[in-house]
Every structure is written in C-alpha cells, then in structure tokens.
Chains A and B, each alone.
Chain A
Amino acid sequence: MLKPLLLGVSLCLALTGSGFATTLTAVHVETDPGERALWDRIGKDYTAQHPDITVQFQYIENEAFKAKLPTMLQSKDPPSLIFSWGGGVMLAQQQADFIRPITAAVQPFAASLVPTAAKAFQSGGDTLGVPVLMSKVAFFYNKALFAKAGVKAADIKSWDDFLAAVKTIKAAGITPIVVGAGEKWPMHFYWSYLVLREGGADILKRAKAGEDGGFTGPVFVDAGKKLQELAKLDPFQPGYQGTLHLQAAGLFGDGKGAMQLMGNWLVNTQKNNAADSKGLSDDNIGTFSFPTVAGGKGLATDALGGVNGFLVSKNAPKEAEDFLRFFSQEKYQKEAAAKGYYIPAIVGTGADVSNPVTKSVAEDLAHATALQIFFDQDLGPSVGRVVNDISVAIPAGQMTPEDGAKALQQAFDEQ
C-alpha cells in the first residue's frame, strides 16, 4: 500500500532524471581554481575517449564534506569516487562496506604511485584507493616580517627557540601566528605535532594499543601543556577563535601575521583568499619544520601530513577504476606539479614541482623519516573530532591538558 504511494509521489517529483550515459561523480574538497580546471579537463579528455561516460568533479566545502560523507555514502546514488585522507575514516567506510577494494585494478599502474602514499590507502593486503597528492604540515612564514622582527627561521630548531621567536616577533608589533581556530582542525596540527615530537612516529599506534597509559599518558598531557605555554604568549591574530581556515589563509596572504602552521596547500590558498587575490609572492614565503622538543622521541624529520586520494564506492560503475588509472597518468600529474597545484603522488613528478616553496616541502617529504597522516583522519570520525575539540579548548583555557587527554581516551573507549 505504502510503496506504490511513495513511488507515485516520487515519479511526480523526480525531475532530476538521470540520463542514459554513465556518470562518474567524484566528490572532493580542493579549492584551487586552477587545480579544479585541470581535473575537469582530465574528465573531459576521458569522455572524449569514452563518449558514453561523463565525469563530474563535485566540490564540497571541507567541513560540510566531512559532516555529509556518512549520509552521502548511504544514499541510493552515492558518488562513485570519494575524496579521502585514508586512515580511520577510510577504515570505517570499509568496515561498513561502502567502498570496494580495487587491488587488481590498481595493480597494472601501482608501480607509478609513490610507495608511502600508496600505503596510506592499503588495509590488510587490500588496496582501497588511489593516492593523488601528498602534503606536509609545516610552518610557512613571511620572510619580510621575519626580517623586520630580526628572526631567522633557520635558528628555530627546538620548541624553546620557537617560543623565543614568537616573543621577539610579538615585541616587534607583529602578530606572530595566524590560525583558523574557528574550524578547530587548523589548531589540531599544533597538538598533533607536539604529540609526535614528544612520543615519536609510532606514538598513535602505541596509544591505541593502550601502552604507556594510552591517550592519557604523559606524552599527551605534556603536548597539551606545551600548547598552553604557547597560548600564554598570546601569539595569535585577534579573534582567532572565530577565524575560518580560508580566512586565516587570506590573512597570511595579506601580511597580517608572520607565520602559519599549515599544509603546503597554503602556498595557493593564501593567494586565492588574500584581499588583493595576489597574496605573498613565492619568494617572500619561507618554510621550516615543526621544532623538536627537549627529551622527546620524535625527530625533526618526522612529518605530519596527508595523502589525499580517491576511494571507489561500493556500487560505482565499473569504469571508476579505469578512470583513476587515466587520472593518475604522468602527463596530467606532471602538469599539476609544474603549475604548482600540489605535490603529486606519482613517481617522477617531484622534479616538475615548480613552486620553490612547494618544491622544498616536496624534498622534505621525500626525505621524511616518517609520515604520520592527520590525527583527525587517522583516529576515525568520532575520536578524530575530539582531537580537534581539545586542540582548541586547551589553549583557550577551557580544558586542562589532563582533562583533554582523558576526553580523548574516553572517546576512544566509547567508539
């Protein structure tokens, strides 16, 4: 009785009518217009060779994407290709049976993928996705403002050096750090790096296994304390707790602050979001790695970063994998590198990275002793968000480092 009724109504209302040809929809969060134009063009090229297949790249704003993804995957018509950072979020999607393993399909071109990047999309012998780009979180600084304050980036090796530099810059009347804490995750880079530097590259793995007190162990409490130390210097731009990440990028591009801890995409977002749409010129931007902490197990070369790629949803058309192969071709990814859009996860494209800042990040990445993916992705949807929560609450004095660590352990136990 009910089904026919609903069917009737849906027939009346369904004006969306999917066409006869196959459409591959790829959802992603990349904002750079040049990069998106390139991706669209790759899609068109594919259609040119396969006329019955249309490829549609659909941009969704980062926060909205993370919030919508669970519902998106459950709709009757989920996107074929899903942007992913790997990690616990991807594993949750695998467990829920919303993505399909693509091991065999990737095999023919697996050798062209950067191994560390490819690893981020593997789980228990299965390949779940194809990496597209890699990023590293590092400090990016405004050379002119550093010079004005008399601070040398090369001298910042330890956390204490860093705090001293922040004080010097502030004393020079310059906002030391710009951060988009309104969206929380930009702040979680600080807490994550402190945890990495304190506990070493395998710290998350050990905490998950409950070693050394799990997430309530001294490493996690101490990271919170150091973050508080930094916040006490009042180093952030006014109103930082309400600033969104693109706004923060724009402020950096406007020269409103000396540095920002961000993924290397900042090189582009600071341009696109600056008030004059130009931002800082490439030769005015420098970069240095997150400092080490005294007595910590982590190395300066352990990198926090991301590997972004595409997963294939469970019932995607069979052409999805083939398109990923097409998409990963060297000629396209070399172009992305040459035009400075991102650091491709394709072997042999590193030399093509044209942007000098991005290039130095790419070299760091190539020589990194470890690559830890973003904590909020690694730890999965529910626990990862708690990392973000405490990363803004601790420096704001809303939560003690101990309570923050406890909240994290609790979320981990409850998931």
Chain B
Amino acid sequence: MSELRTLQSPYGLVGRDAKPRRWATLDLYPPFRLTVLLLVAAIVLLPLLATAFGGFKEVGELRTNPLGLPHVWHWENYWAILSGARYWQVLGNSLIVAAATVALTLGLSSMAAFAFAHLRFFGEQFLLTYLTLGLMFPAAAAILPLFIQVRDLGLLDSYTGVVLPQVAFSLAMATLLLRNGFRQLPSELLDAARIDGCGYIRYFLYITLPLSRPILSTVGIIAFVGSWNNYLVPLILLNSTALYPWPLGLMDYQGQYSTAWQLVLAFITLTILPAIVIFVAAQRWMVAGLTAGAVKG
C-alpha cells in the first residue's frame, strides 16, 4: 500500500520527497551520473527539438542541417498553419470530444461507483465483475462491430458517435478507481448523514463528490488524455474532415503534404503544443493522475 500513498499525493513523484531514500538508489560517481542522465535526456528531447526547428527550415536545410538551429527562421510555415482554419478546427473538435468524454465518464462512473461502494443491491457483485471485464478488453478487438453498431444507431460521423464508445471503454477503469476512492472516505460520515435523514443522492452530491476531488481529477485526467490522443475510434467512426480531431487532422495533413516535411513538422509541433504546455503547467497533477490510475486500477 505504501507506493499507493506516494502516488496519491500529487507531490510524491514530482515535488519534495518526504524523505530521501538513500539506500534504494543507484549511487554513481556524480559527474558520471549526470552524463548518463544528460545523454538519455538528449535522446528524449532531440527528436522533439528537431521537429520543432524543422518547421522553421526550408526543406533542403533539413538535409544539410538536421539537428541545428535554423539558419534563417522561416516563420511563414507556422504562420500559414496558425492563420488557417484547419488547425483551430481540429483542436476545437478534439476539445469538444474530450470535454464531453470527461463529463460523461465522470458522471456515469461516479454514480455507478457510489452504488458499488455504499449500496447493497441484488446482482451487485455480478455487475461489478461485469464492468471490471472491461479492463481487459482491448478496444481494438471489437472495432469493426463497433463501427456496425454505431452505424445502426445512426451515429456514424458525429461527435456523439465518437464520445459514447470512448466513454464506454473508459467506464471500467473509472468506476473501479472511484469505487476504491469512495470507500476510503470514513464510513462514519455516511452513518451520521443517514441518521440526520440525508438521502443517498444528497449524500452523493454534497459529501462524496466534494470530498473525492483528488480521485475525480485522476479519473478526469485519464479520460481526457485518452480522448485527446485517441486515433483508432475516430478513424473508424468519422468521415467528414470538418469533424476530425487533431490526430486524424494530422494524418490528413501529412497525406496531403507528404513531400513538404517542413510543413508537416510545423503542423506536428503545433498540434502537440497544447499537450506539452498543459503538461509543463500541471505536471504534478498529470503525472500523479496518469500513474495513479495505472497503479490503482
């Protein structure tokens, strides 16, 4: 359980550690340690930097000056994308789909999780196991029938058609995480509330949810990142370029400008930029959310 505690605190992995754990680490000669770390960091960052700088170069310079700063900064590549409608449209679509996915996931899974955490009802154990099955479900395995299903519901090529399957696939993990979270709230609270005549629904709305903000944010972050980065589900279920979220928009753009790498690189840079900015601004929550979900789910 101790690793879970570390993860629950958003500061565990990225802030001040409670206590230095001298013995659990690898003691290398400090300059050597730093060299190793810098080398790995370079390997991690160079592809990203080469991409971002590549967007400022002319196509010929990509060949002659692969990793350096551009000799001349060609802002027009970025400017052309930023001043066009396409970039904003794909980001907007992603935002709409992700926001709806998060809202629905949180709504549905917190309700279900509350029932599983606090209520006794017929088939409870069965239903919980049933939902848990979803954890092992590779979304891809059923992607063709999912397409048929969404088609038969008349939801092909619509935001709804993408949001609902995404929510369905994230429900298992979300419900499990929230149920475990809700259970950790002191049970005296519920007893006291019941004695005061507070109904379950009011208890859920006014006590459980406000007290569970950390775990709700974890679930929200996982659902958001999952939706924001999703490629397969919208690929199968969307056709109109006007509805494309950014991963599809990126592939579309690349298909069209496959010979103009500098434009493709600028487009990649601009589409991953929001994720990087948010990550840097909210690293603690992002890391804690994404790893905690993995560990506790």
A residues whose Cβ falls under 8 Å from a Cβ of B:
6, 9-10, 12-16, 31, 58-64, 68, 71-72, 74-79, 244, 246-247, 249-250, 273, 275
Contacts and interface: CB of A to CB of B under 8 A. Distances in A.
B164 A74 contact: no
A75 B160 contact: no
B255 interface: yes
B156 A76 contact: yes
B59 A74 contact: no
Nearest to A59: B256
Interface stretch (B176-184, B239-247, B277-285, B289-297): B239-247
B153 interface: yes
Nearest to B92: A15
Query: Lowest 3 A-B CB distances belong to which pairs?
Result: A61-B255, A75-B156, A273-B259
A78 B240 CA distance: 9
Contacts of A63: 255
A32 to B, nearest CB: 12
A72 B154 CA distance: 13
A10 B96 contact: no
Contacts of B153: 6
A61 B256 contact: yes
Nearest to B96: A15
A13 B156 contact: no
Contacts of A244: 258
B194 interface: no
Interface of B: 59-60, 96, 100, 104, 147, 151, 153-160, 163-164, 236-237, 239-243, 251-252, 255-256, 258-259
Contacts of B256: 31, 59, 61
Given A71-B236, A71-B239, A10 B258 contact: no
B164 A76 contact: no
Nearest to B154: A76
B207 to A, nearest CB: 28
Q: Which of A10, A79, A246, A250 has the most CB of B within 10 A?
A: A10
Contacts of A14: 158-160
Given A31-B256, A64-B252, A74 B156 contact: yes
Given A6-B155, A74-B151, A75-B156, A13 B255 contact: no
Contacts of A78: 239
A16 B243 contact: yes
Given A16-B243, A68-B239, A246 B158 contact: no
A9 B164 contact: yes
A246 B154 contact: no
Nearest to B237: A71
Given A14-B159, A61-B256, A76-B157, 8 more contacts: A9-B164, A14-B158, A61-B252, A68-B239, A75-B157, A76-B155, A78-B239, A275-B60
B230 to A, nearest CB: 16
A275 B241 contact: no
Nearest to B260: A273
A361 to B, nearest CB: 23
Main secondary structure of the interface of B (DSSP, over half): helix
A311 to B, nearest CB: 16
Q: Which of A61, A62, A249 has the most CB of B within 10 A?
A: A61
Nearest to B241: A58
Contact of A15 (B60, B159, B251, B258): B159
Contacts of A60: 241, 252
A10 B155 contact: yes
Contacts of B60: 275
A81 to B, nearest CB: 14
Contacts of A250: 259
B80 to A, nearest CB: 14
Contacts of B160: 6, 9-10, 13-14
Nearest to B159: A13
A75 B153 CA distance: 10
8 contacts: A13-B163, A61-B252, A64-B252, A71-B239, A72-B157, A75-B157, A244-B258, A246-B258
Contacts of A16: 158-159, 240, 242-243
A244 B257 CA distance: 11
B96 A247 contact: no
Contact of B258 (A9, A72, A76, A247): A247
A71 B147 contact: yes
A249 B259 CA distance: 9
A13 B100 contact: yes
Contacts of A68: 239
B259 A246 contact: yes
A72 B252 contact: no
Contacts of B155: 6, 10, 76
B213 to A, nearest CB: 25
A79 B241 CA distance: 12
Given A15-B96, A16-B243, A71-B239, A247 B156 contact: no
A75 B154 CA distance: 7
B112 to A, nearest CB: 15
A10 B241 contact: no
A76 B153 CA distance: 9
A13 B259 contact: no
A46 to B, nearest CB: 21
B218 to A, nearest CB: 24
Contacts of B255: 61-64
B228 to A, nearest CB: 17
Nearest to A182: B258
A246 B258 CA distance: 7
A266 to B, nearest CB: 13
